[in-house]
Structure 1
């Protein structure tokens, strides 16, 4: 079988990428080998048979070596060729020492000398030939140019690590400065002037492939894009993991790294496609494309490129939103196919590229191992009495609010809740128990010696004031089951927290959980839940005199913990915040009333917190007030009126209004933070307002977007 010519060049140049042109180097024989294999001989068989055994090709190579190369160079090349013949050809090399005896002075005088023009003549030679010195020099220069380009390809591949390393160092430096001076520089992961949510400081590195042109441009492009694509893979895998150490080191969100992950994936895939197409065109020009597909490394490389391309197609936002679990399975299968294909693709280079591939395996294994460790940490605790405490949980569903309230008491006593924490939630005893989804921790209550008092009456929720760090907070719940569990295990649960998550039923797991709650009509659904976390970083909003919180739907889970934190810090005197504006929009007014009568009850009584509520889908217009005191009695029996505006909020106008008030107050106004936890449109409108304020010269404004992108 005739081996495709371009592949021969790759194998040849791989072993001499250092371009050793010293007398003891291999460049001399490599130049000869490249030139001689361009000719066709009558005894031609396959590449390794031709160069490794005593054929006319082999004799012509050693004849030129005797003429142009030093003994040290011949010895070095013999060792290299012997290894190649054994590894790739499965045969012994007919060495120079075995052949040189034939090259007498008389023999060398009569040998046919060939020039560059003889290659184009396409003659089939039936005798040993000697390449001319100009042809040998040209061939050497070709090898030298290729080796220099190969080194450049590798440097460009490493430049990817320099780029991302520099970017991450900036993020870590910002975080360090933020920690030392208690500023918020490290949280500025978004460009406020951006008109999109791309979160992308990525400079298109594809421009790096446009340097170093030569007559072998197409070949160099093929090699360069392939090597850089390999180099991008460890970065791609690292940014995909939820246990990425740089999440903590930089303070950037998972969403930011997930966007980086998608950008790198697109770049690496495009580079792989260019690499594959360029080599295919080259092989087609040599008439060897069909033959190439019969070779394992070519076929597996093609499979890897196809798998990477399909990964992009099946990673569209539409597929992720409509059938996330299908996307996840396809993503894993195609990723494994990519890794396996690439291992086989570059196996011919004696594991030279495995250094790019093994980190992918290690990153994946380490991430899964850390997930298991986090699950054990969150859900299992063995106390001094050797009692094993596990996570307890109940779920209730409100049809009117279309909201699931998931209450969880983690098995661990070490979890310390704070704003902007999110956990992955599993339901392991179900037939698809591997599924897990991230949810923001919306609220929490500490369990004291006498337990947390939870209502035993579903239809009429009651409250009781509990003391947490000397702060009175109204606690409301309708979870009979978890109340009984807590009360039956008071000593063991002391010091732990009851977590609350809001879940909006959609498709998949959330829909199945809702259906379970509906079927369990007798009361709250007791279900086995596992937590994995916590993830997320909390920006120090208590350093800002003014805060605007924008929430959409269950995004209130992102804002509520900051309100709770503000109440606690106000009582302790550890906050400078004196004004908070909450703007919350939800589809159903029932959801607004549901939370206003429970977790937001204390918030609505405070003078330093202004709140406006918007119902966006109920078929009502204008402004409507509804008293909720007839449904819920607060701890101090105060009546609270909840005003619901049946329209979408003017986010830009509301934010600009607050910014204007702070600006007009001058130095007394202080700084202001705008935090958004809602749909993309709401975030865009808020960003426009903050951008306008900054553009007009206003300072002391911080924009924070709490989101979790898959």
Structure 2
């Protein structure tokens, strides 16, 4: 490219080539620095991958004990798998949760942190791959083609044990939403968008300026996905009076009344999620400020955005709208 440009007017156009090249090199250096900051020995970092066929969900656990910075809610990371020749390929994923002694304590980890024990895997099998007391970051991923399809293949190849792969983590990217500044927070999410409220739950329920109420309205096609997440990442939230979990099962063949009895602290609804009704009810309970956070299909996001915009008036309590990516 430079050779083709340099022949014109004694190289006067050369800067048009060098400037983007330098920008690209600077970006590569920054990404390399982020990878080293997450784990200085990144080539030794290993992740555990499991796949729940009924829920059609991949769970990836990555140790964070070597990270030079704290994992913040709502941020996303580029995951690279170093096992194959195409190691340079990466895919962004929102961090769902962080488990380990920093959150639960050594004794509580074994009893209360199901992140280390997917339903089809015994704790003894997990111990062979990962130390119980290390902190781990969890990604919840819907498998499709290409990168996520390969993650599913790794997990299926080693079932019933978790697959172990070498990974490099590039991040964090994104920003933390100021949800702690509101009296009430309402999450309206669909499918794997549940990673967003899970990511914020610890901060919203344990900080000194926490909201009075956190509502999660989650639309799923199959109840198996909801059961899997309730068993793991949302297990503690089920027993927190500050958190209300509403699950909307939309799949025609997903009506499992037994789930309601087992997970009775979540409210099960077998219908389509009504955004207008949810926001109207949240606003109608007083003068408290309200944050509405959406992570779901385009239609869900459009409905939520329109509903909030229609209610942003001086005569109503303060309400703000936040939208998180649902593309991965």
TM range (shorter): 0.7 to 0.9
Q: Partners of 1:657 and 1:640 in 2: how far apart?
A: 22
Which residue in the other structure is 1:581 paired with?
215
Q: Is the 8 A contact 1:390 1:411 kept in 2?
A: no
Distance 1:452 1:429, change over 3 A: farther
Asked whether 1:371 is paired with 2:19, we answer no
Deviations 1:155-207 (A, max 9, x none): xxxxxxxxxxxxxxxxxxxxxxxxxxxxxxxxxxxxxxxxxxxxxxxxxxxxx
Deviations 1:78-125 (A, max 9, x none): xxxxxxxxxxxxxxxxxxxxxxxxxxxxxxxxxxxxxxxxxxxxxxxx
Deviations 1:237-288 (A, max 9, x none): xxxxxxxxxxxxxxxxxxxxxxxxxxxxxxxxxxxxxxxxxxxxxxxxxxxx
Unpaired runs of at least 5, structure 2? none
Deviations 1:494-535 (A, max 9, x none): xxx211110111111211221222221241112222211111
1:554 to 186, 192, 214: 192
Q: Partners of 1:506 and 1:499 in 2: how far apart?
A: 22
Asked whether 1:706 is paired with 2:324, we answer yes
Q: For 1:442, what is the secondary structure of its paired residue?
A: strand
Q: Partners of 2:106 and 2:235 in 1: how far apart?
A: 21
Which residue in the other structure is 1:439 paired with?
93
Instruction: Count residues with an aligned counterpart.
Output: 322
Which residue in the other structure is 1:394 paired with?
48
Q: Partners of 2:251 and 2:70 in 1: how far apart?
A: 37
Deviations 1:544-589 (A, max 9, x none): 00111111111111111211211221xxxx1151011110112211
As a proportion of its length, which structure holds more strand? 2
Asked whether 1:528 is paired with 2:166, we answer yes
Q: For 1:538, what is the secondary structure of its paired residue?
A: coil
Asked whether 1:676 is paired with 2:294, we answer yes
Q: CA deviation at 1:596?
A: 1.1
Higher RCO (Cα < 8 Å, 6 or more apart): 2
Larger Rg: 1
Q: Is the 8 A contact 2:76 2:92 kept in 1?
A: yes
Q: Partners of 1:540 and 1:511 in 2: how far apart?
A: 34
Q: Partners of 1:599 and 1:577 in 2: how far apart?
A: 20
2:259 to 626, 651, 672: 626
Q: For 1:375, what is the secondary structure of its paired residue?
A: helix
RMSD: 2.9
Q: Partners of 1:596 and 1:511 in 2: how far apart?
A: 24
Q: CA deviation at 1:695?
A: 5.1
Asked whether 1:477 is paired with 2:122, we answer no
Q: Partners of 2:272 and 2:16 in 1: how far apart?
A: 50
Deviations 1:605-624 (A, max 9, x none): 22222221012224357x94
1:563 to 190, 201, 217: 201
Q: Partners of 2:108 and 2:244 in 1: how far apart?
A: 29
1:651 to 271, 275, 278: 275
Which residue in the other structure is 1:310 paired with?
none
Q: CA deviation at 1:401?
A: 0.3
1:93-242 mapped onto 2 (5 Å cutoff): none
Q: Partners of 1:563 and 1:695 in 2: how far apart?
A: 29
Deviations 1:417-459 (A, max 9, x none): 12111111111121322211001110111346985777xxxxx
Distance 1:487 1:580, change over 3 A: closer
Q: CA deviation at 1:676?
A: 0.8
1:488-503 mapped onto 2 (5 Å cutoff): 497-503=135-141
What is the TM-score with the length of structure 2 in the denominator?
0.87
Q: Is the 8 A contact 1:393 1:526 kept in 2?
A: yes
Which residue in the other structure is 1:605 paired with?
239
Q: Partners of 1:620 and 1:587 in 2: how far apart?
A: 7
Distance 1:549 1:598, change over 3 A: same
Which residue in the other structure is 2:225 paired with?
591
Q: CA deviation at 1:677?
A: 1.4
As a proportion of its length, which structure holds more helix? 1
Distance 1:450 1:547, change over 3 A: closer
Deviations 1:274-330 (A, max 9, x none): xxxxxxxxxxxxxxxxxxxxxxxxxxxxxxxxxxxxxxxxxxxxxxxxxxxxxxxxx
Q: For 1:374, what is the secondary structure of its paired residue?
A: helix
Unpaired runs of at least 5, structure 1? 1-339, 382-387, 455-462, 466-473, 630-638
Q: Is the 8 A contact 1:378 1:532 kept in 2?
A: yes
Q: Partners of 1:380 and 1:601 in 2: how far apart?
A: 33
